[in-house]
Structure 1
């Protein structure tokens, strides 16, 4: 089965490379360090324990960051952090600089992985969430490198996909040394797919173990004052939006304007999920008749500005601290939602669409606490935002409930660290 998988991967590789070239039309950074995708990386000197942590992109990296910072403090260890995306790479370098070794993750090809592992010589691979690749796990097993899956989640939808390739899935899971999963339901799905229950530990979601230091809190206050012109103007953030959602958000904003909420009363901060969509979303906002300021321009929105486009990288977490209301995207289209926890930890009232299968447990906790409202249309979104905008007590109460959920679910980081230490 794995041989067939390798053949398919090799057949698809030209299309993968063409996609890289296509993206490079707008950002030449996609072509830089392409050799790392094939396992050609700089040698690492020294004899300390080498911990390899793989985070797919920005979201996974930020989720793993508290753990990474803890592991950096191990006196006898050095860290190798890999990712798959340009934005993830930029965020790793920006946040950690020379504190870790950073490379792109090699493509899941036997030769590339053998080359990478031989050069890097890791003592442990930590995989964030459910980024499982058959050849990666096989190569680690062959070279005696223990592998642990952390903060793992497995929706029923994803489990159905893995069942369709049950032979490959079972073989892949058998090569995992351990798995720290978010919830019991995730554990049961992994066991059904073939992971031994003796290798499973239910730890909770480490993304709840988030802290905002004094500097971040001061920056958030400063940003809120800048956006509200130090007045009563409210800030509504629509975060991590996908194509098809921006249109709904803009329709809702139009309805709010028609109902009397003017720019000096409510600013929309629209943050597309993917950087390649920034220009298209800016154009959509302007064609819809709204005045727009781009965050990347360094210009503060005036009280006449309808929309601030969040077209910078790495600021979304900070922006949540400057918000009054947050809509989380990836939920009005069939994406499965995005991470609510950062906004909840800031104590913000939350709105979402109904597609939440990737964050089923987190969304359940927030809904049961009365901290998350589900909407399915522009009309419902406008109604939800207006209700919160007009009622300060409701905003405070709903935000406090969200923050309480975030606080009550902390502790997964310590439990995950215990699982990792047993393998070191």
Structure 2
């Protein structure tokens, strides 16, 4: 049944590629993957294979890849992606020697792929459980690890109808899971080689903070750090429902400066944001100058790649997505030691739940709850500082997964 599903997916991608650019890139990349390996693999080198579904999983695997690169230069790194949103953004990543798509998990594709590279070790990030690739790796005796994996009782592996597919989990040499619940769930189905190490994303956001850039235009917008300096609210990865709430609040408050970095940067969405802002001077980042940005009230970030550094300039952060499919990366904001607000769809996001539990994160459900939380943060500096300190301490306290994993892997 699994193989039938894989062939159906492969057929669907092939057909869809005629009409969709994302699928076209995916189909072309998967077809070229084995040829890329045949051209680039050094037969005398030893490759460690990292597989990430997309960009988020790549960020979780990145601290491991870079630590191995530093400590064990005798190995080469192969990095594969399933999604174009990961591959297209990171296809020139300097931390890997070869970067390709991963062909759909049919028996034939898996055999061709693994004949071409013959890795000495493999790391699958978070939710990647490809049946044929994993069985061939196990059959060849190649150590294979699941990193930053997290499990819930409602997943197919723990249902009566998923027991057959659940056997794929036995192909892993060891699981490095995020929490104790995941370890207990694996234990119930007879998988005992699991270790709770946490999430490598905590290590990654500390790296990002260390490598953050100074942004002169943002510094000019924020102003000098003086007693009368306005506080700065940074909204990152925001969507329309998020923007309607926080802009609805700040239209009536003139004692804060706003930086808005929307998730979707397109003219229609930018026009929507600008239409929501009332009685404030607004500057788009790509049109900002030292003269016009200094006395602006709102700075709209209309380009990519700046958000993780922009959080550095905030006093309070809002992370979007919580009124849709789910919140974005709250850790990138929390690492700077400031309160982080987000919407209600956060229950399946362990880091958001952790921030809520520790007091560094605050959930908002509508304009009324946003007003309640924001008024307190604005009026009570001691409370705001305490929330920020708890957010920063939460991130630092859960760092270290990379070191724990590599100390339990034979390199």
Normalising by structure 2, report the TM-score.
Answer: 0.85
| CA offsets 1:24-58 (integer angstroms, 9 cap, x no match) | 28x98667635246775333114232100112222
What's the counterpart of residue 216 of structure 1?
211
Q: Is residue 180 from structure 1 mapped to residue 173 from structure 2 by the alignment?
A: no
Q: Is residue 256 from structure 1 mapped to residue 258 from structure 2 by the alignment?
A: no
| CA offsets 1:335-365 (integer angstroms, 9 cap, x no match) | 3x443223222112111223223323x3343
Deviation at 1:105, TM superposition (A): 1.9
What's the counterpart of residue 269 of structure 2?
281
Q: Is residue 100 from structure 1 mapped to residue 89 from structure 2 by the alignment?
A: no
Report the CA distance shift for 1:412/1:223 in structure 2 as closer, same or farther (over 3 A).
farther
**Distance (whole Å) between structure 2 residues aligned to residue 51 and residue 305 of structure 1:** 49
> What is the DSSP-based 3-state SS (H/G/I as helix, E as strand, rest coil) of the residue aligned with 1:33?
helix
How many residue pairs were aligned? 400
Deviation at 1:183, TM superposition (A): 1.0
Deviation at 1:19, TM superposition (A): 4.8
* Structure 2 unpaired stretches of 5+: none
- For the Cα contact (< 8 Å) 1:57–1:89, is it kept in 2? yes
- For the Cα contact (< 8 Å) 1:331–1:352, is it kept in 2? yes
* Structure 1 unpaired stretches of 5+: none
2:167 is matched with which residue: 165, 168, 171?
A: 171
What's the counterpart of residue 306 of structure 2?
315
Report the CA distance shift for 1:155/1:237 in structure 2 as closer, same or farther (over 3 A).
farther
| CA offsets 1:315-347 (integer angstroms, 9 cap, x no match) | 332222232222223322353x44322322211
- For the Cα contact (< 8 Å) 1:233–1:267, is it kept in 2? no
Deviation at 1:205, TM superposition (A): 1.9
What's the counterpart of residue 154 of structure 1?
151
Q: Is residue 196 from structure 1 mapped to residue 191 from structure 2 by the alignment?
A: yes
Q: Is residue 349 from structure 1 mapped to residue 342 from structure 2 by the alignment?
A: no
**Distance (whole Å) between structure 2 residues aligned to residue 164 and residue 278 of structure 1:** 45
Report the CA distance shift for 1:38/1:207 in structure 2 as closer, same or farther (over 3 A).
same
> What is the DSSP-based 3-state SS (H/G/I as helix, E as strand, rest coil) of the residue aligned with 1:249?
helix
> What is the DSSP-based 3-state SS (H/G/I as helix, E as strand, rest coil) of the residue aligned with 1:267?
strand
1:324 is matched with which residue: 315, 322, 333?
A: 315
1:116 is matched with which residue: 113, 117, 138?
A: 113
Root mean square deviation of aligned Cα: 3.1
**Distance (whole Å) between structure 1 residues aligned to residue 90 and residue 149 of structure 2:** 21
| CA offsets 1:197-245 (integer angstroms, 9 cap, x no match) | 1x1111122222243489735x24646414424473443333334xxx4
Deviation at 1:59, TM superposition (A): 1.9
Report the CA distance shift for 1:10/1:280 in structure 2 as closer, same or farther (over 3 A).
farther
**Distance (whole Å) between structure 1 residues aligned to residue 28 and residue 306 of structure 2:** 24
- For the Cα contact (< 8 Å) 1:370–1:401, is it kept in 2? yes
> What is the DSSP-based 3-state SS (H/G/I as helix, E as strand, rest coil) of the residue aligned with 1:355?
coil
Normalising by structure 1, report the TM-score.
Answer: 0.82
What's the counterpart of residue 83 of structure 1?
81
**Distance (whole Å) between structure 1 residues aligned to residue 174 and residue 287 of structure 2:** 46
Q: Where does 1:122-161 land on structure 2 (aligned, <5 Å)?
A: 122-157=119-154, 159=155
Q: Is residue 375 from structure 1 mapped to residue 369 from structure 2 by the alignment?
A: no
Deviation at 1:81, TM superposition (A): 1.2
Report the CA distance shift for 1:58/1:147 in structure 2 as closer, same or farther (over 3 A).
same
Deviation at 1:72, TM superposition (A): 0.8
What's the counterpart of residue 47 of structure 1?
44
**Distance (whole Å) between structure 2 residues aligned to residue 70 and residue 58 of structure 1:** 19
- For the Cα contact (< 8 Å) 1:181–1:201, is it kept in 2? yes
- For the Cα contact (< 8 Å) 1:43–1:119, is it kept in 2? no
Q: Where does 1:387-398 land on structure 2 (aligned, <5 Å)?
A: 387-398=376-387
What's the counterpart of residue 269 of structure 1?
260
Deviation at 1:190, TM superposition (A): 2.4
**Distance (whole Å) between structure 1 residues aligned to residue 407 and residue 186 of structure 2:** 20
| CA offsets 1:60-101 (integer angstroms, 9 cap, x no match) | 22222221111112032111111223342244345x327522
1:408 is matched with which residue: 371, 392, 397?
A: 397
**Distance (whole Å) between structure 2 residues aligned to residue 282 and residue 341 of structure 1:** 25
Report the CA distance shift for 1:111/1:31 in structure 2 as closer, same or farther (over 3 A).
closer
**Distance (whole Å) between structure 2 residues aligned to residue 21 and residue 380 of structure 1:** 46
What's the counterpart of residue 384 of structure 1?
373
142-151 or 51-60, which deviates more: 142-151
**Distance (whole Å) between structure 1 residues aligned to residue 328 and residue 408 of structure 2:** 26
Report the CA distance shift for 1:240/1:105 in structure 2 as closer, same or farther (over 3 A).
farther
